[in-house]
């Protein structure tokens, strides 16, 4: 009786904790454009805090939102699919690329032209994938059916289009049922506000980063000495205090306008997420960016000076001497041009980074940079008495320049790594990349100590307190990098490094393998299916097919541990990087269970004999769809990571577990599963 009560409690708890998530609600409608020309409108309402991936993603990324149409000769496409709501592009360290995402609401339009006089039912399905900060859901397919009327005489008389709602608990057949909605004339609405709302937090972070970069730019030897010279220009005629303040304000605003216009140009010339994806993944721009950073670094080290033509500088300076309210503007333009040899690398780096984001991002970045850049000039011009608090120019300015030369070289390595990973060249292993960084930052530390000297450096008579703090920080970072040569995850900077799968020499893998018991090789029963494409980390031996794993579990008389995960599942990687490496966890995973890793997003095609229809009519033709359907139908769950322990009768022995970065909690889950399996 106690056992019956125990399993009843497990069933009730599972039902409460493992529920099907439906965060996206689809609506399909029709817009009339002209004679026999229509817009098919696909509108997705997305629950917070979920986001859905865009329709145009680079190769190697997550599942893009796509619209698949049944074969029909009654209509033809009149243009490409349009994303009315622009996706917010963010860098995803799991894919090492920038990925477009939709939040709250996403609207897509496909223009078609009817080729037959009779009414037409446009049918198909939309495939999409959603994630939030804690988990990702398996890719999902939703059917749609949109009716195009036989003749258009009166909009009010036109039959309604179909509506689907993925948030309901009805079957897909119910989801694709028609509702009463009248198609309307095409309207174009601005999506800038939506984009702004979706990226509010990331935009503020980017704003602060560029603001800090602006203050850094002030410390370069091309800019810092110009502060007193520029301020002296505004101190002419101090008897007209109001006019001096006005000139200073015009000067500051002009700097902001000049730099912000650069961001605006990048926005206008690079509009569209296709451009940004190409920019971040194609080998040509990445190689150009790398070479650009190398050239700038060489300039910072003193090999040559990057300057604009002197004739241009002289013409601008002549305009500044004419006076009037235009004088402050041309003074600002002169400052921007003259300081280019020092600020050019910083501005270029910011524009490159900004160009990988949403359309408004470059303008935000340049506004923040110019605001910090202009603020001291303006304040000192209004309050010249503050000038006495500034430290005097000296050799420390060139040290700042060299410092950023090393940073640019380290930063530039990222572009080479992107080429290597995107095209599978295998030129840069993870340890080679980390090794180059160790060398660069070690040289930087030696430079700060005065052990290395460049052409324009002054003699270092002593080390100041601030310089000492920088030396300690740089060498501490080098010490942090060193374990990465042997497989340490280096989680705080993992987004800048090649993935751990690129690690050739991994001491953590070797150590984990050394802890195997002598019977470890008997944990599995033969060569697992799909093992040529898939693997379980840390040398764990297991399966990727449920039935195969179940048979082995019976043979080995061990409980079966189901690990529902995904290639693109951030939280799955968190569990594997932070919980699984625990020696106690590894020992239990390797010796106490037969493990099957069920990837819900794997695109491996099933054989013709394995293809089947799910209970809701979907065609299951890939390994990922098969695993996702299995998780949803058997465990009423579609989130990952999701861990289930089964006995040989395919019954759960304890409550399944999701994301929990507490190793003790995971150990408790595993121990409880083994104990219940043995008791049962």
User: pLDDT confidence of 361, banded at 50, 70, 90?
Assistant: low
Give the domain CATH number at 637: 3.40.30.10
Shared-domain flag, residues 346 and 422: no
Distance CA 105, CA 110 (A): 17
153 and 300 fall within a common domain: no
Spatial contact of 270 and 356, defined as CB atoms under 8 Å apart: no
The tokens describing 383, both together, are 């309050």
Number of neighbours of residue 609 by Cβ within 10 angstroms = 6
The model's confidence at residue 253, banded by pLDDT at 50, 70 and 90, is confident
Q: How many domains does the chain have?
A: 4
352 plus 210 within the same structural domain:
yes
Last residue of a domain, one of 331, 359, 390: 390
In a domain, 15, yes or no: no
Position 216 scores a pLDDT of: 76
Cβ(65)–Cβ(52) under 8 Å?
yes
In a domain, 455, yes or no: yes
254-276 tens-digit pLDDT: 888 888 887 777 666 654 433 44
In a domain, 36, yes or no: yes
Edge-to-edge order in the sheet of strand 120-128: 66-69, 120-128, 140-148
Regarding predicted confidence, which is higher, 274 or 134? Answer: 134
- Report the alpha-carbon distance of residue 44 to residue 28 in Å, rounded: 9
Q: Are residues 178 and 250 in the same domain?
A: no
* Distance from C-alpha of 79 to C-alpha of 383, rounded to nearest angstrom: 59
Domain boundary among 470, 504, 538: 504
Task: Specify whether the CB–CB gap between 146 and 91 falls below 8 A.
Answer: no
Looking at the structure, do residues 355 and 382 belong to the same domain, yes or no? yes
Is residue 4 in some structural domain?
Answer: no
Looking at per-residue confidence, does 391 or 445 come out higher? Answer: 445
**Same-domain pairing of 264 and 156:** no
Q: Residue 537 sits in which domain range?
A: 507-679
615 plus 532 within the same structural domain: yes
The answer as to whether 16 is a domain residue is: no
Which backbone phi and psi does 663 adopt, to 5 degrees?
-60, -35
Higher pLDDT, 153 or 294: 294
> What pTM was computed for the model?
0.45
Residues 27 and 112 in one domain: yes
CA distance 395 to 677: 72
Give pLDDT, residue 225: 60
The C-alpha atoms of residue 404 and residue 570 are separated, in whole angstroms, by 32
**Within this chain, do residues 187 and 84 fall inside the same structural domain, yes or no?**
yes
pLDDT > 90: percent of the chain: 20
| pLDDT at 186 > cutoff 50 | no
- What's the pLDDT band for 178 if we cut at 50, 70, 90? very low
Cis status of the peptide bond prior to 528, with omega within 30 of 0: no
What is the residue whose two structure tokens read 């800090």? 212
Question: Same domain, yes or no, for 337 and 262?
Answer: yes
Q: Which residues, including other chains, have CB under 8 Å from residue 422's CB and lie 6 or more apart?
A: 58, 59, 60, 97, 281, 282, 283, 286
Task: Return d(Cα 132, Cα 571) in angstroms, integer.
Answer: 10
The verdict on residue 659 lying in a domain is: yes
Is residue 533 domain-shared with residue 450, that is, in the same domain?
A: no
pLDDT in the model for residue 445: 95
Q: In the predicted model, what is the mean pLDDT of the chain?
A: 75
**Highest-confidence range of 44-58, 248-262, 310-324, by mean pLDDT?**
44-58
> Which of 197, 222, 253 represents a domain boundary (last residue)?
197
In this model, does residue 563 exceed pLDDT 70?
Answer: yes
Q: At residue 166, does pLDDT exceed 50? A: no
Residue 411, in any domain of the structure = yes
- Nearest C-alpha neighbor of 26 from the set 156, 144, 148, 151: 144
Q: Which of 199-213, 239-253, 488-502 holds the top average pLDDT?
A: 239-253
Asked, for residue 287, whether it belongs to a domain, the answer is yes
Q: What is the CATH number of the domain that holds 29?
A: 2.60.40.1250
Residues 386 and 396 occupy one common structural domain: no
């Amino acid at each position: 009786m106690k056992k019956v009560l125990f399993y009843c409690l497990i069933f009730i708890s599972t039902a409460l904790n493992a529920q099907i998530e439906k965060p996206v609600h689809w609506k399909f409608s029709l817009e009339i454009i002209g004679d026999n020309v229509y817009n098919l409108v696909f509108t997705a309402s997305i629950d917070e805090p979920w986001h859905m991936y865009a329709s145009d993603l680079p190769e190697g990324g997550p599942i893009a939102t796509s619209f698949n149409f049944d074969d029909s000769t009654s209509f033809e496409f009149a243009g490409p699919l349009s994303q009315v709501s622009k996706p917010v592009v963010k860098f995803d360290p799991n894919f090492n690329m920038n990925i477009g995402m939709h939040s709250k609401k996403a609207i897509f339009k496909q223009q078609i032209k009817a080729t037959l006089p009779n009414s037409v039912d446009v049918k198909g399905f939309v495939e999409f994938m959603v994630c939030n900060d804690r988990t990702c859901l398996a890719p999902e397919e939703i059917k749609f059916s949109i009716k195009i009327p036989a003749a258009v005489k009166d909009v009010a008389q036109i039959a309604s289009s179909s509506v689907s709602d993925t948030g309901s608990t009805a079957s897909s057949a119910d989801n694709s049922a028609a509702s009463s909605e009248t198609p309307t004339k095409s309207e174009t609405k601005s999506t800038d506000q939506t984009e702004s709302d979706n990226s509010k937090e990331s935009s503020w972070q980017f704003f602060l980063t560029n603001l800090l970069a602006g203050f850094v730019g002030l410390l370069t030897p091309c800019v810092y000495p110009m502060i007193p010279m520029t301020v002296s220009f505004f101190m002419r005629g101090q008897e007209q205090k109001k006019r001096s303040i006005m000139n200073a304000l015009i000067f500051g605003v002009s700097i902001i306008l000049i730099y912000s216009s650069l961001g605006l140009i990048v926005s206008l010339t690079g509009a569209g997420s296709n451009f940004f994806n190409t920019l971040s993944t194609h080998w040509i721009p990445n190689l150009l960016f790398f070479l650009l950073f190398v050239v700038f670094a060489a300039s910072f080290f003193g090999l040559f000076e990057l300057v604009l033509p002197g004739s241009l500088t002289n013409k601008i300076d002549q305009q500044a001497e004419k006076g009037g309210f235009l004088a402050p503007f041309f003074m600002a333009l002169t400052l921007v041009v003259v300081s280019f040899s020092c600020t050019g690398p910083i501005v270029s780096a910011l524009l490159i980074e900004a160009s990988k984001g949403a359309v408004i991002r470059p303008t935000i970045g340049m506004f923040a940079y110019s605001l910090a850049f202009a603020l001291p000039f303006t304040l000192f011009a209004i309050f010249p008495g503050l000038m006495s608090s500034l430290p005097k120019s000296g050799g420390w300015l060139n040290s700042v320049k060299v410092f950023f030369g090393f940073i640019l070289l380290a930063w530039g390595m990222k572009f080479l790594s992107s080429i290597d990973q995107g095209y599978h060249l295998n030129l840069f292993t993870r340890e080679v990349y980390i090794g180059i960084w160790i060398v660069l930052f070690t040289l930087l530390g030696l430079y700060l100590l005065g052990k290395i000297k460049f052409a324009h450096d002054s003699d270092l008579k002593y080390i100041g307190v601030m310089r000492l703090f920088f030396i300690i920080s740089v060498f501490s970072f080098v010490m942090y990098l060193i374990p990465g040569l042997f497989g340490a995850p280096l989680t705080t900077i993992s987004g800048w490094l090649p993935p751990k799968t690129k690690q050739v020499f991994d001491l953590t893998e070797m150590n984990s393998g050394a802890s195997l018991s002598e019977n470890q090789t008997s944990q599995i029963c033969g060569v697992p299916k799909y093992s040529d494409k898939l693997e379980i980390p840390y040398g764990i031996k297991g399966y990727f097919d449920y039935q195969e794993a179940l048979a082995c579990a019976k043979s080995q008389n061990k409980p079966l541990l189901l690990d529902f995960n995904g290639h693109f599942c951030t939280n799955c990687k968190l569990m594997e990087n932070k919980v699984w490496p625990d020696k106690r966890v590894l020992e239990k995973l390797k010796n106490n269970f037969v493990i099957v890793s069920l990837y819900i997003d794997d695109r491996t095609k099933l054989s013709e004999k394995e293809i089947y229809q799910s209970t809701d009519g979907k065609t299951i033709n890939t390994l990922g769809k098969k695993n996702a359907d299995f998780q949803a139908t058997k465990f009423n769950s579609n989130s990952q990571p999701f861990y289930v322990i089964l006995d040989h009768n395919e019954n759960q022995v304890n409550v399944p577990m999701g994301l929990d970065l507490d190793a003790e909690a995971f150990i408790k889950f595993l121990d409880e599963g083994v104990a219940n399996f043995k008791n049962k």
